[in-house]
């Protein structure tokens, strides 16, 4: 998987298990090092609007990490984030 495939997820709301427990929007991604073997730094927007980042290692299957989630799961995650923020 190259940076081009990862870049195709920019602006999309995806679930990234093992990194975040809520769906995130991929805001930016950059390759670490000079080859795909170093991994990727990903900047994401959380449901509460805050920004965060994570590193996806080269050993991880990025295509399997970023996957679509049903609309009802998005609504539930957003509601849960708002409830945690207000408590």
Tens of pLDDT along 30-76?
888 876 667 889 999 999 999 999 998 877 766 555 655 555 555 56
Q: Is the model more confident about 87 or about 53?
A: 53
pLDDT at 72: 58
> Where do the structural domains in the chain lie, given as residue ranges?
3-86
pLDDT at 49: 94
pTM over 0.75: no
Q: Is the model more confident about 12 or about 69?
A: 12
SS (H, E, C) 13-48: EEECCCCCCCCEEEEEEEECCCCHHHCEEEEEECCC
């Amino acid at each position: 998987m190259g940076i081009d495939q990862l870049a195709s997820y920019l602006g999309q709301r995806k679930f990234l298990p093992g990194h975040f427990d809520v769906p995130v929007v991929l805001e930016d991604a950059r390759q670490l090092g000079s080859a795909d073997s170093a991994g990727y730094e990903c900047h994401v927007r959380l449901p509460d609007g805050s920004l965060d980042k994570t590193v996806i290692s080269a050993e991880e299957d990025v295509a399997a990490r970023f996957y679509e989630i049903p609309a009802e799961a998005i609504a539930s995650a957003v509601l849960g984030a708002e409830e945690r923020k207000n408590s």
